[in-house]
Amino acid sequence: MFKKILIANRGEIALRIHRACREMGIRTVAVHSTADSDAMHVRLADESICVGGPTSRESYLNMPALLSAATLAGVDAIHPGVGFLSENSEFAQMVVDHDFVFIGPSAEHIRIMGDKILAKAAVEELGIPVVPGTPRPVSPQEEGIFDMAKEIGYPILVKAAGGGGGKGMQVVQAPEMLENALTIASAEAKANFGNESVFMERYLKQPRHIEIQVLADHHGNVVHLGERDCSIQRRHQKIWEEAPSPAISAAQRMELGNRVADATRRMGYQGVGTFEFLYENGEFFFIEMNTRIQVEHPISEMITGIDLIREQIRVATGEPLGFTQDDITFNGHAIECRINAEHPATFLPSPGKITAYHPPGGPNVRVDSALYTGYSIPPYYDSLISKLVVWGRDRDECLMRLRRALEEYVISGVETLIPLHQALAHNEDMQKGAYDIRWLEEFLAKQNAS
Ligand code: ADP
188 and 45 part of one domain: no
- The predicted structure's pLDDT at residue 164: 86
- The predicted structure's pLDDT at residue 165: 83
Rg (the chain; Cα; Å): 21
Task: Report how far ligand 1's centroid is from the alpha carbon of 166 (Å).
Answer: 7
Ligand 1 nearest atom to the CA of residue 203, by list position:
24
- The predicted structure's pLDDT at residue 450: 80
- The predicted structure's pLDDT at residue 448: 87
- The predicted structure's pLDDT at residue 64: 98
- Catalytic status, residue 292: yes
Name the residue with the closest Cα to ligand 1, atom 22: 203
44 and 147 part of one domain: no
Does the pTM of the predicted model rise above 0.85? yes
Name the residue with the closest Cα to ligand 1, atom 11: 236
235 and 266 part of one domain: yes
37 and 160 part of one domain: no
Per-10-residue mean pLDDT, the chain, length 450: 98 98 98 98 98 98 98 98 97 98 98 97 97 94 93 95 86 94 92 91 97 98 98 97 98 98 98 98 97 98 98 98 97 98 96 98 98 98 98 98 98 98 98 98 93
- The predicted structure's pLDDT at residue 168: 80
Find out whether 439 and 423 touch, Cβ atoms under 8 Å: no
C-alpha dihedral (320, 276, 369, 346), degrees to nearest 10 = 170
Q: Which of 228, 259, 292, 338 is catalytic?
A: 292
Domain span holding position 39:
4-103
Which positions ≥6 away from 116 have C-beta within 8 Å? 159, 160, 161, 162, 163, 199, 287, 288
- List, in sequence order, every beta strand (DSSP E) within 271-349: 271-280, 283-290, 333-340
Q: Is residue 31 part of a domain?
A: yes
Q: Is residue 119 part of a domain?
A: no
22 and 152 part of one domain: no
Residue 138 is classified by DSSP as: B
- The predicted structure's pLDDT at residue 394: 98
86 and 217 part of one domain: no
87 and 142 part of one domain: no
229 and 168 part of one domain: no
User: Measured between alpha carbons, how far is 195 from 187 in angstroms, rounded to an integer?
Assistant: 9
Q: Which mutation among 118, 278, 439 tests ligand 1's pocket best, with the greatest number of atoms within 8 A of CB?
A: 278
- The predicted structure's pLDDT at residue 167: 82
Structural domain tally of the chain?
Answer: 3
Which positions ≥6 away from 171 have C-beta within 8 Å? 155, 156, 157, 158, 181, 203
